[in-house]
Amino acid sequence: MAFRSRALWLAATVMATLAPVAQAEEPARGAPAAASDDQRAGGEDIVVTARKREERLIDIPQSVSVISADALARVHAERFADYFTRVPSASIVESQAGQTRLVLRGISTNGVGATVATYVDETPYGSATSLANGAILTPDIDPFDLERVEILRGPQGTLYGANSLGGLVKYVTVAPQTDAVHAAAQGGFESVGKGETGWSGRAAVNVPLGDRVAVRGSGFYRTDPGYIDDPVRGPDVNGGRTYGGRGSVLVRPFDSLSLRGTAFVQNLESNGSNTIDADPVTLRPTLGDLKQSRLVAEPNHVKYRIYNVTADYDFGPVSLLSSTSWGALDQRQIQDISGLYGPLLSDPSVFGISLGAIINQNVTQRRFTQEVRLASSGASAFDWTLGGFYTRERNMIDQSIDAIADPTGAHVPGLDGLAFATVTSAYREIAGFASGTYHFSPKFDLSVGGRYSHNTQRATQTSSGPLAGGDFSFGGSSSDNVFTYSVAPAFKPNDHLTLYARVARGYRPGGPNVLPPAAPSEVPREFAPDTTTDYEIGIKTELLDRRLSFELTGFYTDWNNIQLIASIGGFGVNTNGGKASSKGVELSATAKPVPGLTLAASGAYFDAVLNDDAPAVVGGHDGDRLPYAPRFASTLSADYERALGDRVTGTIGASWRYTGDRRSAFTAGAAQHRLDAYGQVDAHVGVSFDRFRLDAFVRNLTDSRGIQDVGAAGSARNGAIAVAVSRPRSFGATLGVRY
């Protein structure tokens, strides 16, 4: 928070829907082969852990999307933007790699607190507060060696707690296996039109050490090609690299006890933002296609660290699980804010020379969590889960503003440290939760859950320097108590049809405000928590021996006391507004008319709007659409697989994603920009032989320039604003092997 950096202004939302679950047989993914679409059509089920126990996806009375390892491989996923936007009602806001905001069903106002929670297996990752940029520092984890990604839409407060008021993203990693040695490797490249070529390498190995011990390790390295040019600094200024790995050990001392320890590290290094300079009225490029003008480079380096130990003991009628986790996130970033401060600093009456400005930002997050759950075995008419949760986190945002020479970008002696600001915060939460499903008959279930949470927060802000108004220090504290719940009846006439309704409540903590020196007395010293209440009805069905399946969901979300971000005296401040709502319909359908052919169509129509005027310092009026939430988005895809010989199989496929018109972020005293609708076509072709697989792919075949983000005034130099557009056409190939 502290100084209002571009991170609080800039946002890019892409809206699309879920592509079909991809076929199995992806050697380089490194995971055990999952059931293919045709295998599932023959009788296998998709099993998920959305309710913290293994269940068939079709039996869960809520809206859940599952993206399997095979589907991730099919779309050659490397980052959120490659797969998250294929989920119904899902949006991404991103202006630079490493700064990603996830939005489900439009529940976002571009504030700094996350509305979508993130889990990696049993570990909640990222900040639970609105004081550590948790909304825009969502971990963009490389999807290599994942078993699947589960995306739960709607509030998940009962089982997953704070910040899941819009939904949840859950990464499920591949666990070590004691059956045999497994190994996989993959290499590839991707070339971006009018940009660079990037390279990647991935590998995974699973080794059993007897019948009761196994270890698994995986690693990845990729260079991310740049495609944004700067007239002075040169071409492709937004490239970067991402690398890391995961190690996991599984020990079963005896049949009823399993212990798993996991360590995950990832470094994401971006050299610059993905924005171009555009006219603030027409949004047309001012320097030409894919060009920006900055006085200095704008690197953004983010480190993810997750360590977890999970113990699971099976008593027979019940099982006990303990999960202990430690998560860390570090960000180092430089942003050119000459468009905001340059006119002031270049005033002849101030320094007498032409100046720009940069902001240096360092963010640290440290989070410890402990969860204990006791769950029934599912052998009776009543399935239940009872648990306790504790988390403690410490965060710091450290920022400084320095003057730089225009146009060289060099530091000016004596003009470093025009402003300093540091925000330190601490958050503690303890919660108890319970959920249960009573099977009144083979055809009717009722699921009920509740969670009671208590949290406390402390925060301190210190600032100094002429642009910060001199030396200043402020501290505050807050505490919240909250109860969240869910109720979901389900009617199941047979194993292939579920009709359900669901009411659920989600919650995001409030906290102490960190205030600028010139903050007027009417600015609240605390900001309150906000809540969502979601009403959902749905149908899930499989027909024709699972050759045809579809899911239809209708929802209405009531969002109260919404948290907003305001700018006062150049500082970002949390505040609350009135109400907002989101209502709509989601549909996904998959058909397999002949062996090997999969056709899919999915879409979402929803209306996410303010129901009250926002405070004047924020902007936004009753009836305005929530930022970057299209009313309509859809995906159409076709994939075909055919044997070309005894041990050779060919695949080909394409998808078209449509994103409807959207509105930009709220701006005090100005109307939202209207962003036009756009489409994107992706295609792939591949061949597998023995243990090898060769794929070629193209993204954004038509080279669309759909606008995904519009910055505020001052986000670029010379009166322009920073605008993010779709990544240009790119093509690539991968070669993988599996043992």
Q: Give the 3-state secondary structure of 150-190.
A: EEEECCCHHHHCCCCCCEEEEEEECCCCCCCCEEEEEEEEE
DSSP 3-state of 535: strand
pLDDT at 515: 74
Dihedral pair phi/psi, residue 57, rounded to 5°: -60, -40
In a domain, 555, yes or no: yes
Q: Which residue is associated with the tokens 């003008």?
A: 293
- State the DSSP string of 176-228: P-SS--EEEEEEEEEEETTS-EEEEEEEEEEEE-SSSEEEEEEEEEEEE----
Distance CA 126, CA 132 (A): 9
Sort strands 662-663 and 648-659 into parallel, antiparallel or unpaired.
Answer: unpaired
pLDDT below 70 — which residues of the chain? 1-44, 516-518, 522, 569-570
pLDDT computed for residue 517 by the predictor: 67
In the DSSP assignment, the letter for residue 57 is: G
> Encoding tokens for residue 391?
């988390």
Share of the chain residues as helix, strand and coil, in percent rounded to the nearest 5? 5, 55, 35
Task: Judge whether 131 and 458 are in contact, CB under 8 Å.
Answer: no
Name the amino acid, one letter, at 136: I
CA 425 vs CA 93, 118, 211, 233: distances in Å:
25, 20, 46, 37
d(CA 338, CA 359): 9
User: What is the b/e burial string over 12-47, where b = at least 16 CB atoms within 10 angstroms of the residue's CB?
Assistant: bbbbbbbbbbbbbbbbbbbbbebbbbbebbeeeebe
Question: How far is residue 370's CA from residue 323's CA, in Å, rounded to a whole number?
Answer: 6
Q: What is the pLDDT of residue 567?
A: 79
Residue 651 forms part of a structural domain:
yes
Inside any domain, residue 1: no
Beta strands 472-494 and 497-508: pairing type?
A: antiparallel
Number of folded domains in the chain?
A: 1
At 516 the pLDDT is 67
**Among candidates 283, 275, 266, 418, which has minimal Cα distance to 342?**
418
Instruction: For residue 528, tell me if it sits in a domain.
Output: yes
What is the distance between the alpha carbons of residues 161 and 484, in angstroms, rounded to a whole number?
Answer: 8
Question: Using CA atoms, how far apart are residues 423 and 512, in angstroms rounded to an integer?
Answer: 11
Q: Look at residue 35 in the predicted model and tell me its pLDDT.
A: 34
In a domain, 231, yes or no: yes
In a domain, 719, yes or no: yes
Q: Name the DSSP letter for residue 613.
A: P
Determine if the peptide bond prior to 20 is cis (ω within 30°).
no
Residue 70 lies in a domain: yes
Give me the CATH number covering residue 371: 2.40.170.20
> Which domain, by its residues, includes 175?
6-738
Distance, CA of 48 to chain centre: 19
Spatial CA neighbour of 81 closest among 70, 71, 92, 68: 92
pLDDT of residue 413: 86
pLDDT digits (tens, 9 = 90+) for 205-249: 999 999 999 999 999 999 999 999 999 999 999 999 999 999 999
pLDDT at 236: 96
- SS3 at position 23: coil
| Number of other CB atoms surrounding residue 502 within 10 Å | 23
Residue whose C-alpha is closest to residue 497's, from 46, 58, 64: 58
Closest by Cα among 411, 395, 327, 410 to 362: 395
Cα–Cα distance list, 504 to 128, 384, 554, 555, 635 (Å): 19, 18, 14, 11, 28
Q: What are the start-end ranges of the E strands in 271-381?
A: 275-278, 300-314, 318-336, 355-376
Which residue type occupies 195? Answer: G
User: Whole-angstrom Cα distance, residue 421 to residue 572?
Assistant: 11
Which pLDDT score is estimated for 568? 76
Q: Tokens 């829907």 — which residue?
A: 17
Of 636, 635, 655, 667, the residue nearest 564 (C-alpha): 667
Asked if residues 624 and 609 have their Cβ atoms less than 8 Å apart, the reply is yes
